Structure 1
Amino acid sequence: MTSSMKDQGSGGPKSQTEPRPSKNLPGWTAGLRQLYDEVVEEDLPDSFRDLLSKLDDKDS
């Protein structure tokens, strides 16, 4: 497995900045941002990781 594949499942570096509240945004946007951030941080399923590995092997 390549190092880039290992990095893909980690969700990348966590942002140190909090979303800035805006008077123009409705209140539910903070909850949506939190849900999005949680999904982005999830690891890749093993089956998807295996598929990426097989595709990489075919390219080599």
Structure 2
Amino acid sequence: MLYYALVFLVVAIIAGVLGFGGIAGASAGIAQILFFLFLALLVISVIINFVRKV
């Protein structure tokens, strides 16, 4: 999932450099959503792993 967030971030940067503002904004938004989703799943996984070991 982090891979897809990075892919959308790169697409947003390239689209922004080329002047495609709408595509850049949409790609940046998708990258942000995927990054925070990844971060939430990471935190949940760490908590579950901690609880299992105790």
Q: TM-score range by the shorter chain?
A: 0.3 to 0.5
TM-score (norm: length of structure 2)? 0.36
Larger Rg: 1
The higher relative CO (CA closer than 8 Å, separation ≥ 6) is in 1
Bigger share in helix: 2
